Amino acid sequence: MLKTHNCGDLRVADVGETVTLAGWVHRRRDHGALIFLDLRDRSGLVQVTCNAQGTPAAHAVLNTVRGEYVIQVQGGVRDRPAGLTNPNLPTGEIEVVAESAQILNEAHTPPFYINEDVEIDEALRLKYRYLDLRRPVMQQNIILRHQVVSFIRKFLDGRDFLEIETPMLIKTTPEGARDYVVPSRVHPGSFYALPQSPQQLKQLLMVAGYERYFQIARCFRDEDLRADRQPEFTQLDLEMSFVDREDVMALIESLYIALIEALGSKPILAKPFLVLTYAEAMARYGSDKPDLRFGMELVDLGDLSGGSEFKVFSEALAAGGQVKAIVAPGCADFSRRQLDDLGEQVKRFGAKGLVWIARKGDGSVKSAAARFLSESELAAIFERTGAGLGDLVLIVAAANRSVIARSLGELRLALGQQLGLVRRDVHALCWVVEFPLLEWSEQGGRWTAMHHPFTSAMDEDWPLLESDPGRVRAKAYDLVMDGWEVGGGSIRIHRRDRQQAMFRALGIGPEEAEEKFGHLLEAFEFGAPPHGGIATGIDRTVAILAGTTSIREVIAFPKTASATDLMFRSPSEISEAQLRELHLSITA
RNA sequence: GGGGACGUAGUGUAGUGGUUAACAUGUCGGCCUGUCAAGCCGAAGAUCGCGGGUUCGAACCCCGUCGUCCCCGCCA
């Protein structure tokens, strides 16, 4: 080894030791005959010093080094003189007096600061990702990610799980996201698909009798990107035989509690995790991934507004819709401009408008709708919503219930952040269960699986699959953390007849089912055990633990929003020869 | 596919129609033996993303285009 110690590990206990260090010049403070420099390696920083009289050999070398030079230093660890310690550095009580030093490699001045935390254009960071990753913040993120994955492996190994790899070159499936596809050289005109998840493979491992499987699995989906979505991402993929819903949930709950308590920096707001049905989550939070770090729940005003003079209310209800409200605490004095902005926000989600009622501090009521609402109606609204003096009641009425949920749910999130109501000092996790098995696709004109086509219905709901598919609830569960969907899973179908019934409900005919899923259907006839599992997002989990809002911050080499890699400059064209070999021609 | 924001020395920003594009920091040089965002003095460093247009005159206004980010659609 070119070094005997790590920079960041040196302490007072090492005083008197002779050490050899190697690392990057983080910062240099040159007093002429006296030089200080902060030497950095993965473990952290330590101050190295030398002077022209006492250590001339080292001084001659360190006089020429610059930022990010890679150097090696030999010297003794000593206590810093009294009053000269640096409490901001874990190594701040000691320093290394360099006796000699060598330049291992010179470095250009980097295109951005590695030794300072300033905002840098993300495109530049991605172009020089290897320098970006050198920054201490990024190193912490990547190290945290390693710790999370390592923790999960140990946890599951201790509970009798087997880590089993599954292929990356599989087969395109109907349903779900757009596949990334790989042309076959050997079979002209045929393609592999990269897995959107190892879903079928892990089910087949259950049929194979492995009982408890997991994998830190890379997944690929060719869909547009977001701050929390990359074309390739990593899941903890897990499957168990002979379990019911509660078994999988209990296992993952204990894993996440242990994980957060071991590696997170914030306490968990409530244990055990709250379990909400999908219907409840939508009703109370207007979202299937509610952020429980603050209140501001949606309140139903339907029974108060049935006979209202206010047609916005009564007509929505007559059309089978709802009238619902949230209370923005202390916002009664919002300006007209602010209220208009809130109105614009809900319109994005299909609401015709936002009804606002300001209950002023002096007890007076201000509202554009006030003349349509009686005293008693107002009083009832204030009582139901709990709106006090100084609060602002925000109401959406619509015939379409999902419009109300969506618009008030998003408004709740926006206001929660804007008003600083979201508790940043805790993590809040919950389960959302009993999702609808199917949802109607307007553009497809058919039912689609809300989770995936292998999800089992609730036992008592199976009879509804043909008669009333929209009412069938799934044995599915989502894990939600701080308003992010971090995981989702289900008990699977393990009987051929039920799987066929599911395909039928999805409009997949017998021939197509045989062609696309024949292997699975056949496997179910050879003794498939009842089984279920879950997949949780490693990128999202680490991002939340790291306190960042983009998963790119916890992925070593992420892609841009347009799915390019700025360092490799990928995707890129391939040669004519490669195209020929793959039997491909470019038409675009 | 759609909407929005941004693009100015290496980096982060200011400049919203008028002389030589400003500030901080970094870089380079000089001085300096206790700094830790070292300090002091000096110097260099800009195709104002790119193309077109309006104007006597454009970093600034307009159109297009490229790139990055955020959102909608999409994401079983």
pTM: 0.96
Phi, psi of A479 (to 5 degrees): -100, 125
- Start-to-end CA distance of chain A, whole Å, equals 53
* Residue A568 clears pLDDT 80, i.e. is over it: yes
Domains of chain A in sequence order: 7-105 (2.40.50.140), 139-275+430-554 (3.30.930.10), 294-422 (3.30.1360.30)
Identify whether the C-beta of residue A554 lies closer than 8 Å to the C-beta of residue A158.
no
Q: How far is the CA of A198 from the C1' of B19 (A)?
A: 68
Chain B bases closer than 7 angstroms to a protein Cβ: 1, 10-13, 25-28, 31-39, 67-76
The answer to whether A196 CB sits below 7 Å from nucleic acid chain B is yes
- Dist CA A429 CA A158 (whole Å): 24
The answer to whether A452 CB sits below 7 Å from nucleic acid chain B is yes
User: Per-residue pLDDT tens for A414-431?
Assistant: 999 989 999 999 999 999
Reference A144, options A582, A573, A585, A548; nearest CA is A548
Q: How far is the CA of A348 from the C1' of B72 (A)?
A: 8
The answer to whether A203 CB sits below 7 Å from nucleic acid chain B is no
User: Per-residue pLDDT tens for A244-293?
Assistant: 999 999 999 999 999 999 999 999 999 999 999 999 999 999 999 999 99
- Dist CA A510 CA A517 (whole Å): 10
Identify whether the C-beta of residue A99 lies closer than 8 Å to the C-beta of residue A132.
no
Identify whether the C-beta of residue A429 lies closer than 8 Å to the C-beta of residue A268.
yes
Q: How far is the CA of A478 from the C1' of B34 (A)?
A: 58
Q: How far is the CA of A114 from the C1' of B4 (A)?
A: 31
The answer to whether A446 CB sits below 7 Å from nucleic acid chain B is no
User: Per-residue pLDDT tens for A478-531?
Assistant: 999 999 999 999 999 999 999 999 999 999 999 999 999 999 999 999 999 999
User: Per-residue pLDDT tens for A180-231?
Assistant: 999 999 999 999 999 999 999 999 999 999 999 999 999 999 999 999 999 9
The answer to whether A448 CB sits below 7 Å from nucleic acid chain B is yes
Q: How far is the CA of A579 from the C1' of B63 (A)?
A: 39
Closest-approach nucleotide to residue A219, Cα vs C1': B75
CB < 7 Å to strand B — which of 166-195 in chain A? 173, 175-178
CB < 7 Å to strand B — which of 18-37 in chain A? 27, 29-34, 36
Q: Which residue is nearest to nucleotide B67 (CA to C1')?
A: A123
Closest-approach nucleotide to residue A225, Cα vs C1': B75
SS3 letters across A288-350? CCCCCCCCCCCEECHHHHCCCCCHHHHHHHHCCCEEEEEEECCCCCCCHHHHHHHHHHHHCCC
Q: Tell me, what's the ipTM?
A: 0.94
The answer to whether A121 CB sits below 7 Å from nucleic acid chain B is yes
CB < 7 Å to strand B — which of 315-354 in chain A? 348
Between vectors from CA A248 to CA A243 and to CA A249, what angle results, nearest 5°? Answer: 140
Between vectors from CA A84 to CA A140 and to CA A20, what angle results, nearest 5°? Answer: 55
- Dist CA A490 CA A222 (whole Å): 24
3-class DSSP state of A120? coil
Pairing of strands A44-51, A191-193: unpaired
The answer to whether A557 CB sits below 7 Å from nucleic acid chain B is no
User: Per-residue pLDDT tens for A367-404?
Assistant: 988 889 989 999 999 999 999 999 999 999 999 999 99
The answer to whether A43 CB sits below 7 Å from nucleic acid chain B is no
Residue A401, class by beta-carbon neighbours within 10 Å (0-12 exposed, 13-18 middle, 19+ buried)?
middle
* Residue A350 clears pLDDT 90, i.e. is over it: no
Residue with tokens 């242990």: A258
CB < 7 Å to strand B — which of 78-97 in chain A? 80-81, 84-86, 88-89, 92, 95
Structure confidence at residue A555 as a pLDDT band (50, 70, 90): very high
